[in-house]
Amino acid sequence: MHLTKKTHSCVRVEKDGRVLVIDPGGFSETDAAVGADAVLITHEHPDHFDEGRVRAALDADPAVEVWTLRSVADQLAGAYPGRVHTVGGGDTFTAAGFDVQVHGELHAVIHPDIPRITNVGYLVGGRVFHPGDAFTVPGVPVETLLLPVHAPWNKISEVIDYVREVRPQRAYDIHDVLLSDLARPVYDRQVGGLGGAEHLRLAPGDGARV
């Protein structure tokens, strides 16, 4: 599989000419989902789900389908009958030729006064795990973890412990648009040195074989 990092938490995964896009949100490129065969969305927050970006992909190709949780599906399904699928933790499905497992249920705690919303993570092809906004441990081997490295709901010790608990072969940073370039070496050193896995970073538009 080939992984391409888009801005913030959006990634494109490609195999055998098929394209799967995860979390095209408001911080990602305007065309982040265009050209996808399938789109997966972890939760409703606008940095992970931008309705205009998803609709652009659905309108551009009548074969494109979306898999997501109910709070997002309800915003799209009426306009695209049969093309928007609701999923939850424990579900499995095939999208754009990729076998996908769904893990998790809730968004990480931002603050006790802020109600938690639903959030799911996706294990793609049995190898690449995108947790959305949560420290979900899928309980199965993960080769490549897409690591939410900087967010209002986490701190670096939790990020490090999450890598230790999942025990991937490698971790690529996502959820990083709020992290300044000045601070990145600190995260690289601490997550890479203490997480127990190869810690990697891709600039938006760059890719790697996974």
Instruction: Name residue 54's amino acid.
Output: V
* Model pLDDT for residues 186-195, shown as the tens digit of each residue: 999 999 999 9
- The predicted-structure confidence for 107-159, as pLDDT tens digits, reads as follows 999 999 999 999 999 999 999 999 999 999 999 999 999 999 999 999 999 99
CB atoms within 10 A of CB 164: 12
Q: Where are the domains of the chain?
A: 2-200
Distance, in Å, from the CA atom of 119 to the CA atom of 128, rounded to the nearest integer, reads: 17
Residues of the chain with pLDDT under 70: none
Range 2-200 classified under CATH 3.30.160.20: no
Note if the pTM is more than 0.75.
yes
The burial of 194, by beta-carbon neighbours within 10 Å (0-12 exposed, 13-18 middle, 19 or more buried), is given as middle
DSSP string, 38-92: EEE---SSTTT--HHHHHHHHHH-TT-EEEE-HHHHHHHGGGSTTTEEE--TT-E
